[in-house]
A = this chain, B = another copy of it.
């Protein structure tokens, strides 16, 4: 048995929770902020049998890994050079920090 502690972005948490649920895995969501990722993150506790650990890591990778997204700015700011207005900009989103801990005992009461 392992306890996976995953710190992910708030925006990625619903997709992660849904994908875990589809794999028959339950998770507990802790309110968290700052640090490992930019403000507004979520910390998930996921209990998992050793045999399913690779699957959990793959699910986190699929739903949360750092990736770039092209954003086309809608409202140009005053200081934006005219040439830049409306140009798509690449921004980084997502990312996850994952701790896997050995569980000495697990009980469901």
Contacts and interface: CB of A to CB of B under 8 A. Distances in A.
B100 A106 contact: yes
Contacts of A17: 34-35
Nearest to A28: B35
How many copies of this chain are found per oligomer? 3
B32 A27 contact: no
What interface size band does chain A fall in?
Answer: 35 or more
Interface in A7-48: 7, 17, 26-37, 41, 43-45, 47
B99 A103 contact: yes
Contact of A101 (B26, B65, B104): B104
Interface string A43-61: 1110100000000010011
A105 B60 CA distance: 14
A93 interface: no
